[in-house]
Chain A
């Protein structure tokens, strides 16, 4: 079956530009997560949705980061006025409900801010 998909796979932005990163979760997965992975590091939590409700956004590094999942399926992570420190791989994961459930990851979007 189809896994988690993300687009674009690569994005180059000039500093100050806005970017939008898309995530298509596995069909039927209620929970959706965004992570940021810096070079040489493990993924770090950004935000979590259950259906369309954003239940935790404590990991978003600044108010320039915004995420939405309006219909409880596809999600978009938006970064306004990008800065060089935003350069990273952004990973999306989805899972069924339940704390023991496995999160399945997409291939990620590699963002480079020049």
Chain B
């Protein structure tokens, strides 16, 4: 069975500093990987995805993520955090072949202080 682990319930960072939100995954084959962000009382907004090709994926709002197959990780990064980046972030995985649904992690709350 596929799974996603987001080891940190909360990440705190000062505005202007780089941020990293961690994600590791487990699938039996190759993965499609996604990051979503959720603001209060809102649905999930798509940030970026890894399908194939370059391991460094760039997405919306200056976010990027690096796919590391050997470490089965897909950490979300941003060089300079903004207060407005404060939100709940979800990593999700789906297998490339065979049938599987999209499996989400529990989420990581990012708090950016002024």
Contact = CB atoms under 8 A, between A and B. Distances in A.
Interface of A: 4, 6, 33, 40-45, 48, 56, 59, 91, 93, 99-100, 102-108, 110
Most A C-beta atoms less than 10 A away, residue of B36, B43, B94, B106: B43
Interface in B20-70: 32, 34, 36, 41-46, 49, 51
A107 B42 contact: yes
B87 interface: no
Which secondary structure dominates where chain A touches chain B? loop
A42 B104 contact: yes
Contact of A102 (B49, B95, B105): B49
A33 to B, nearest CB: 7
B101 A56 contact: yes
B90 A103 contact: no
A106 B43 contact: yes
Nearest to B92: A42
B104 A4 contact: no
Nearest to A3: B43
Contact of B102 (A6, A103, A106): A103
A106 B51 CA distance: 23
